[in-house]
């Protein structure tokens, strides 16, 4: 691993996959192989279909070995029909591809594991809902089981993490929380401002998720990360935070990688305990940093306002979903027990999905 961090992204990707992995002794290698084979693994925020682009390669998805992907359906506008059309494309491809299946509850995820398949669940981003709560029921009927409340800026629900103000949930936001609770749809607060996050945790009768973020204490300038106050409130309500692997989010150093992911896991475990930490990588198969620069150029994200500095060109050890099993290897290297690893890479996610969705 040491030599990989000195390489350019192009040089890094030429390495065989095994050379990008955290190095373990023989016992650790056997543990890693066994755990990755036996455990139900859940990634709470994926982009297997790309993000700004629409692309899907089943062979790449198969090689990740992830049991359940919670796929985010982007909503770059308030066009509900556009979002639903995209969701329909995702579901059609998944349902027609041997080896894949749509999951609507935890029992489906467990069945996928038993049958040697990979499950997809779906998350909708908030813009397309607008102010029409009837759209929530339509989305549920089409398979959506999680909803992000805000993106980085203000919407009808509340303030995003990169907004000028931090006003919390609106009255409509409170109505949406109640609607999502009644429908059995998971609530994600990853891009919400601090007060919106705290309000949602307080007013939701169900535990909620921060499904792709990390601890702001480890990268104080990044507003996309969560404060200790938010993480503690989440855990007290029984919620789960999924640690991401997004380049230039967990750190502002010029060299970043799997160790940063593990650092955030360690910090949150020490802060609130092993039962409230999961994985939500939010990464793509392509060049993520180039993707971010394209997003900035297109005006989709203002990285200066989010506090993200595009300092590193890639994430060694977790540059794509193909390196997902490196999370298990890294946890072994950090001294986690098998039962603790099982919770982080899938068990905690399954618990909250079962409690809220069924």
Res. 291 pLDDT band, cuts 50 70 90: confident
What contacts 345, CB < 8 A, 6 or more positions away? 39, 41, 42, 278, 279, 327, 328, 331
300 has pLDDT over 80: no
Residue 9 falls inside a structural domain? no
151, part of any domain? yes
Least confident residue range of 149-153, 230-234, 295-299: 295-299
CATH number at residue 191: 3.20.20.140
Is position 11 within any domain? Answer: no
Tell me how far apart the terminal alpha carbons of the chain are, to the nearest angstrom: 40
- Is residue 1 over pLDDT 70? no
Helix axes 171-183, 134-141, angle to 10 degrees: 30
Residue 120: the pLDDT is 98
Rounded distance between C-alpha atoms, residue 35 and residue 342, angstroms: 8
**What's residue 219's pLDDT?**
98
Please write down the long-range contacts of 102-109, taking CB distance under 8 Å and 24 or more positions apart.
Answer: 102/143, 103/68, 104/143, 104/145, 104/357, 105/353, 105/354, 105/357, 105/358, 106/350, 106/353, 106/354, 106/357, 106/358, 109/40, 109/42, 109/67, 109/68, 109/350, 109/353
Phi, psi torsion values for 123, nearest 5 degrees: -120, 135
Mean pLDDT of 28-39: 98
- The answer to whether residue 20 is domain-embedded is no
Could you give the number of structural domains in the chain?
A: 1
The pTM of the full predicted model, rounded to 2 decimals, is 0.96
What is the rounded average pLDDT of the residues 109-118? 98
Range of the domain at 306: 25-356
Say how far apart CA 320 and CA 5 lie, in whole Å: 15
Per-residue pLDDT tens for 171-214?
Answer: 999 999 999 999 999 999 999 999 999 999 999 999 999 999 99
Domain-embedded: residue 4 = no
DSSP 8-state symbol, 43: E
Q: Model confidence over 42-91: pLDDT tens digits? A: 999 999 997 656 679 999 999 999 999 999 998 766 688 888 999 999 99
């Amino acid at each position: 691993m040491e030599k990989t961090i000195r390489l350019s992204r192009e040089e890094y990707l030429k390495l065989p996959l095994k050379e990008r992995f955290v190095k373990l002794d023989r016992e650790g290698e056997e543990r890693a192989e066994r755990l990755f084979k036996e455990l139900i693994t859940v990634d709470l925020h994926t982009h297997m279909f790309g993000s700004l682009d629409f692309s899907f390669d089943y062979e790449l998805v198969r090689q990740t070995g992830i049991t359940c992907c919670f796929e985010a359906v982007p909503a770059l506008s308030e066009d509900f029909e556009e979002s639903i059309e995209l969701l329909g494309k995702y579901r059609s491809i998944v349902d027609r591809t041997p080896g894949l299946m749509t999951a609507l509850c935890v029992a489906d995820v467990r069945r996928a594991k038993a049958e040697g398949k990979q499950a997809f669940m779906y998350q909708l981003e908030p813009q397309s809902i607008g102010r029409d709560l009837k759209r929530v029921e339509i989305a549920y009927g089409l398979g959506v089981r999680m909803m992000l409340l805000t993106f980085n800026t203000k919407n009808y629900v509340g303030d995003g993490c990169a907004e000028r103000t931090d006003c919390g949930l609106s009255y409509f936001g409170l109505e949406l929380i109640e609607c999502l609770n009644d429908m059995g749809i998971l609530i994600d607060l990853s891009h919400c401002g601090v007060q919106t996050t705290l309000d949602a945790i307080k007013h939701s009768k169900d535990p909620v998720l921060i499904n792709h973020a990390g601890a702001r204490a480890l990268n104080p300038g990044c507003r996309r990360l969560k404060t200790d106050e938010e993480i503690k409130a989440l855990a007290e309500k029984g919620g789960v935070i999924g640690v991401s692997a997004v380049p230039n989010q967990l750190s502002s150093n010029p060299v970043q990688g799997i160790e940063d992911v593990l650092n955030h896991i360690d910090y949150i475990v020490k802060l609130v305990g092993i039962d409230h930490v999961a994985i939500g990588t939010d990464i793509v198969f392509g060049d993520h940093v180039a993707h971010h620069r394209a997003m900035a150029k297109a005006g989709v994200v203002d990285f200066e306002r989010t506090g993200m500095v595009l300092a590193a060109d890639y994430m060694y050890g977790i540059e794509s979903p193909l390196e997902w099993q490196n999370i298990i290897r890294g946890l072994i290297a950090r001294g986690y027990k098998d039962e603790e690893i099982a919770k982080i890479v899938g068990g905690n996610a399954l618990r909250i999905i079962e409690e809220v969705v069924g």
